[in-house]
Amino acid sequence: MVDITAKSNTLRTAIAQAVVTVGSVETIQLINNNQIPKGNIFEMSKAAGLFGVKKTSEIIPDCHPLPIEYTGITFEVQDKSILIKVKVKTIYKTGVEVEAMHGASVVALTMYDMLKPVDKNVEIGQIKLLLKTGGKSDFQDVIDMKLNASVIICSDSVFNGSKEDKVSEIVTEKLTNHGIDVMHRNVLPDDKNSIQTEVQSRINANDNLIITVGGTGLTKRDTTPEAITPLFDKQIQGIEETIRNYGQERTPFAMLSRSVVGLSGKTLIIALPGSSRGVKESLDVLFPHILHVFRVIEF
């Protein structure tokens, strides 16, 4: 039985807002003209908000320290008020709604502090959570079946022994943590025919999941997508986009990856990039929720 609600490095997102209301339109004009004596309130409060998000666990007793993947802070001037929105993302076992709300609060307090010399009627209000996604309640599913997998490394340098295989264990550990048995592992050269033959043999062996690693770049020997795409009955572009989008948030070079994902019969085939970091990040964003595929397809 595979539990998709198991603890995993799932992407969590939260958006919070706060509203700062000033006493007069003249204050808004001073803000828009960057004439506040203490400086630019948007730049200063945004910097404070970033610190506020990161330091939430130091202020709120029951909040655990967690890695913040992304913080976005935006402002919208409305008549005599400023609408603050703070968006926070993390890959962790808990959500980030408190971090987002704390960040919004700190932004608002910083604005208050900077505006009080010119306006004695500044107020803070409507600090609230607008959105929370990625928590356990969003992704509840249990697959009552035993899944097995193969891991295939596609690399000339690993095959000839000039480079150490550092990714097989990363993939195996991730799959094992989600109750998937890795029944077969192999290392192949970057040869289209060899890769295609090996993947087809694992399809014929009725593997539930095949993960290839490497050969998705742009060099002449990167032929993994060309080898396995003809074996697909259905290509799953959404999963491919998820891998690249997540990588793009971490390095601009992720756009060059040619990772492909598809179904051959009832076998899910995932071609991942060859670097250890690329493999780990791809697995983090995909698992465990990609396993819902096995709920969708008919067994």
Domain of 192: which CATH number?
3.40.980.10
What is the predicted pLDDT for the residue at 126?
A: 87
What is the predicted pLDDT for the residue at 204?
A: 97
Rounded distance between C-alpha atoms, residue 135 and residue 92, angstroms: 10
Looking at the structure, do residues 218 and 280 belong to the same domain, yes or no? yes
- Which among 168, 148, 269 has a CA at the least distance from the CA of 211? 269
Do 16 and 127 touch, CB atoms closer than 8 A? yes
Looking at the structure, do residues 53 and 117 belong to the same domain, yes or no? yes
239: which DSSP letter? H
Half-sphere exposure of 50 (CA within 13 A, CB side): 10
Looking at the structure, do residues 123 and 264 belong to the same domain, yes or no? no
Rounded distance between C-alpha atoms, residue 210 and residue 192, angstroms: 16
The angle at the Cα of 130, spanning 283 to 66, to the nearest 5 degrees, equals 40
Consecutive H or E run containing 52: helix 41-54
Do 92 and 67 touch, CB atoms closer than 8 A? yes
Bridge partners of residue 13, in order along the sequence: 89, 133
What is the predicted pLDDT for the residue at 91?
A: 82
What is the predicted pLDDT for the residue at 248?
A: 82
Mean pLDDT of the chain: 90
Do 31 and 38 touch, CB atoms closer than 8 A? no
Looking at the structure, do residues 117 and 222 belong to the same domain, yes or no? no
Model confidence at 299, in pLDDT bands (50, 70, 90)?
A: very low
Q: Is the pLDDT of residue 142 over 60?
A: no
Looking at the structure, do residues 47 and 148 belong to the same domain, yes or no? no
Question: Which residue of the set 3, 62, 79, 113 is catalytic?
Answer: 113
Count of structural domains, the chain: 2
Rounded distance between C-alpha atoms, residue 70 and residue 46, angstroms: 14
Model confidence at 231, in pLDDT bands (50, 70, 90)?
A: very high
Looking at the structure, do residues 117 and 151 belong to the same domain, yes or no? no
* Annotated catalytic residue 207: no
Q: Would you state the structure tokens that stand for residue 188, as one six-digit string?
A: 């192949």
CATH of the domain at 81: 3.30.70.640
pLDDT tens, residue by residue, 244-253: 988 888 888 8
The range of the structural domain enclosing residue 228 comes to: 142-296
Looking at the structure, do residues 291 and 212 belong to the same domain, yes or no? yes
What residues contact 118, with CB distance under 8 A and at least 6 apart?
Answer: 27, 30, 36, 37
Half-sphere exposure of 79 (CA within 13 A, CB side): 3
Looking at the structure, do residues 152 and 219 belong to the same domain, yes or no? yes
Mean pLDDT calculated for residue range 42-47: 97
Is 276 strand, coil or helix? helix
Q: Is the pLDDT of residue 263 over 60?
A: yes
Looking at the structure, do residues 155 and 12 belong to the same domain, yes or no? no
Domain edge (last residue) among 138, 170, 187: 138
pTM comes to 0.59
